Structure 1
Amino acid sequence: MQVDPVDSHDTLTGAIRRVLIVDDSRLQLRIMSSMLNRWGFEVLQAESGPEALQICAEKEPDLVLSDWMMPGMDGLELCRQFRALKREGYGYFILLTSKSEKNEVAQGLDAGADDFLTKPVNAHELRARINAGERVVSMERQLSEKNREVSEALAELQEIHEAIDKDLRQARTIQQSLVPERMLELATSRVSLLLQPCGHVGGDLVGMFKPGDDKLGLYSIDVSGHGITSAMVTARVAGYLSSNFPDQNVALAKKSDEVYEMREPALTGQMLNQRLAADPGVEEYLTMAYVAADLRSGEMRMVQAGHSHPLLLRANGEVEFLGEGGLPIGLIDEVTYDQHAFTMRSGDLLLLYSDGFTEAVMKNGKMLGEDGLVRIFKDSAAAGQGPDLLQDMFWRLTEGMLDSKSLGDDVSAALLEFDVLPPR
């Protein structure tokens, strides 16, 4: 192999600094080494493929210049095994050959060669090919560095995500604890609750409290927005309607020691509005349907503050949507509410629910709506009772949704089954 001389003595610096020359001719090794040394490269030499692989494993050259035709392991096999080595960065491989047929060049490319130089090697062409290889190696190393930075950033984000996810799971547990009882039998009636956030936590809240054996407070609340902020508001409101601490419950008035009576629902809505409006930094508002129930007489008093109209299913199958709307709570400072009265009879069912039901998008592309809600409520009432009835409603809802795996909004409900249990 002959190498044309090069006039320039300029040195090359950059991504390619260490070059391995592989040739079974010591003379050619000496000629090529002298040229590359003048250009500023660190030069390594090997007289055979196995020796070259040993050097590559120990010192990782940036560029390999290998003769194709060598006894034993030829340059093609050396290239294959070079590509199989584990190394930190990309190594550029140039085959020196007298072969110029297309199928032979294809063989070299399949083996992993990056470029070819025909013999005798022209020094100016060699330097140009090395410069081209240097650009490739430089871009690969820049890309590898960017990938490393991205990987580190992703790992850091993953740690942050796992920490946030852990906090959100704990927040979900705390929010679920706001509804400690999902079913309560009181006198001859039964109350059941359903709470299904669309994320880890949500802005829906359902609950109940019992100031006496035949008295019941039942509510359904939907805080504006979703996520952590809304969940924090629900936690605060749950304290205002606490079943465990009646002295903090705005729906109850202390009559004597350990005896509480229920305030009018309209007044309860007004007081809750004052509490929420007075909280500094709270921009969220909420809708609410709240019912003060006398389970002995069946007399019900209700306030509806911008919430979905409660659904009354009579024992004879008749359906009625209750209420006339009203302003949400916390939207303006001063507000008064109207009160709605109705009577429940034996076997009647009352459903308080969030708009996660009626606004769910079904497979036909339309929202469930009030008619759809009536349909699944009747079907579920015919199939089960209590918590099973609500779970069946939720199942029917998600089975009919366009995307059954993803709730677009929180879904919640409170169910009162009036006078359905035998006297104790």
Structure 2
Amino acid sequence: MYHRHPDISASRRPPEARARHRALVVSGSAAQRRLLAVVLRQMDLDVVTLSCAGEALHYCMTEEGCTVRLILSDWQMPIMDGPDFCKAFRGLVRDDYTYFILMTCETDRRVKAQGLQAGADDFVTRPINIGELRARISTAKRILDMQEALQHRNYEVKTALEDLQALHDALDRDLAEARRLQRAFIPARHLSNPGYALSLRLVTSGQVGGDLVGHFPISDTEVGLYSIDVAGHGVASALLTGRLAGLFSGKAWRGNIAFRSDGRGVHPPEKVMHRLNDFMLQEMTSDIYFTAVLAYVDIVTGAVRLCQAGHPHPLIRRGEGTIERVGHGGPPVGLLPGTTFERVTFDLEPGDSLLTYSDGLTECTDTWGDMLEEEGLMALLARIPPDTEAAVEELEAALRTHSGIVDFADDISMLLFRYDGLPEAATA
């Protein structure tokens, strides 16, 4: 979904740059106000002069007064003196900082400390030395210029963070939608048919992942099972799982890469891996690859034809509880042209279960960094209940117990198939 970039509202506009700072001179002496106004205007300041602190404080509350950035005020004034004016001024809510200079004939440091406590930034000693005044005003202007520059930098950082947050939120929404779509790639999580039952489980380490498990009907007496782990577990991997899910569609055999084009059955599993390898090398421009297991199970005889392409070894749990590993490893799909894949065959007896899974299970680490490994998974598999749905629940719970407070570092996917066999009446 396309998310329109929001317009910059007035509240997000940067502070308005000012060509000239506005200065306020507060003095009971008209002659001093005129002299100071001349000096400040020569220093490229916009000057306003007022005769008393009360009038000045009221002015600072107006819209025009809010733009004052420099105040030069007498210390000794009737009713409200300079420090009281400064303290009252600092109590006003203002967006910008205003530099405050007190003019005084006081030389006692303790007296000047009162002015600093009131909020003054600097002092000018009376009678005023114009050279000293210019130096202190120049210092004030540098500080105000730096403060204005900092405001603009802060604005840039703030708006950049807001834009990044908006992009992050949009990406989160898109990833959440992608996660829902990826879940839709997976067929029914639990299936119970005459002769067999199976359950699937997929836990992604992020919003989307690169694992895929599923099944598809081949005929009334045969079912296909697949387990895929695309390298990585980000967006690119998730996109490929979507494409592969379409290639193993259980709803339309014409789009399923396992079926022959004439509709007369399926290619052997090793031939399907060869076709997938060609597909990856010819149609994919990236260096991405995947590991996989593809198995065909005859639900009448229990015979299994399986091809393992770099994926972890499938495990068989026999009815009496013993565990066997099957397969010869084999190369991954999509790495090299001309790769050959091998088929293995074995038989399942009623009550036996077949587990295909990604390496996220065996490489699941605990808080010490120790992996579960194949031996640990075998021990877990030996204790699972007969019901496949309850069994995958227990396997996932055991993995979470093993990882403790550590999140899964990789996607977790598994397919558990239990062979029950068909009654004689059904096979007659």
Q: TM-score, normalised by structure 1?
A: 0.85
1:308-347 to structure 2, matched below 5 A, reads 308-347=312-351
Paired residue for 1:174, among 174, 181, 187?
181
Letter in 2 for 1:178: F
* Higher mean displacement: 395-404 or 233-242: 395-404
Does the 8 Å contact 2:323/2:382 carry over to 1? no
Residue 107 and residue 325 in structure 1: after superposition, are their counterparts in 2 closer, same or farther (change >3 A)?
farther
> What is residue 141 of structure 1 aligned with on the other side?
148
**Aligned equivalents of 1:194, 1:172: Cα separation in 2:** 14
**Aligned equivalents of 1:361, 1:239: Cα separation in 2:** 32
- 1:50 aligned to 2:57? no
Paired residue for 2:396, among 394, 397, 422?
394
Deviation at 1:190, TM superposition (A): 1.6
**Aligned equivalents of 2:118, 2:389: Cα separation in 1:** 67
- 1:281 aligned to 2:285? yes
Alignment: residue pair count = 405
- 1:409 aligned to 2:410? yes
Deviation at 1:102, TM superposition (A): 5.6
Give the aligned CA root-mean-square deviation in angstroms: 2.9
Q: Deviations over 1:41-75 (max 9, x none)?
A: 22212333332233223222121122344444443
Q: Deviations over 1:178-203 (max 9, x none)?
A: 01311111214221111222222221
Q: TM-score, normalised by structure 2?
A: 0.84
> What is residue 206 of structure 2 aligned with on the other side?
199
- 1:272 aligned to 2:273? no
**Aligned equivalents of 2:113, 2:399: Cα separation in 1:** 60
**Aligned equivalents of 1:395, 1:76: Cα separation in 2:** 70
Deviation at 1:343, TM superposition (A): 2.2
Deviation at 1:420, TM superposition (A): 9.5
> What is residue 70 of structure 2 aligned with on the other side?
63
Paired residue for 1:17, among 21, 25, 46?
21
Helix, strand or coil for the counterpart of 1:78?
Answer: helix
Residue 349 and residue 42 in structure 1: after superposition, are their counterparts in 2 closer, same or farther (change >3 A)?
same
Deviation at 1:103, TM superposition (A): 5.6
> What is residue 369 of structure 2 aligned with on the other side?
365
Percentage of matched positions with identical amino acids = 39
Residue 22 and residue 211 in structure 1: after superposition, are their counterparts in 2 closer, same or farther (change >3 A)?
same
Residue 123 and residue 262 in structure 1: after superposition, are their counterparts in 2 closer, same or farther (change >3 A)?
same
> What is residue 351 of structure 1 aligned with on the other side?
355
- 1:29 aligned to 2:29? no
* Higher mean displacement: 390-399 or 100-109: 100-109
**Aligned equivalents of 2:136, 2:175: Cα separation in 1:** 56
Helix, strand or coil for the counterpart of 2:265?
Answer: strand
Letter in 2 for 1:326: G
> What is residue 419 of structure 2 aligned with on the other side?
418
Q: Deviations over 1:251-304 (max 9, x none)?
A: 233776xxx534322222122222222214242111001211122222222111
Does the 8 Å contact 1:15/1:134 carry over to 2? no
**Aligned equivalents of 1:197, 1:22: Cα separation in 2:** 69
* Higher mean displacement: 183-192 or 69-78: 69-78
Does the 8 Å contact 2:314/2:355 carry over to 1? yes
Residue 72 and residue 322 in structure 1: after superposition, are their counterparts in 2 closer, same or farther (change >3 A)?
farther
Deviation at 1:116, TM superposition (A): 2.8
Helix, strand or coil for the counterpart of 1:62?
Answer: strand
Paired residue for 1:156, among 141, 152, 163?
163
Deviation at 1:176, TM superposition (A): 1.3
Letter in 2 for 1:352: T
* Higher mean displacement: 80-89 or 314-323: 80-89
**Aligned equivalents of 1:112, 1:16: Cα separation in 2:** 24
* Higher mean displacement: 239-248 or 72-81: 72-81
**Aligned equivalents of 1:295, 1:81: Cα separation in 2:** 89
> What is residue 9 of structure 1 aligned with on the other side?
none
Does the 8 Å contact 2:25/2:33 carry over to 1? yes
Residue 36 and residue 272 in structure 1: after superposition, are their counterparts in 2 closer, same or farther (change >3 A)?
closer
Deviation at 1:312, TM superposition (A): 2.1
Paired residue for 2:128, among 121, 131, 134?
121
Residue 262 and residue 77 in structure 1: after superposition, are their counterparts in 2 closer, same or farther (change >3 A)?
farther
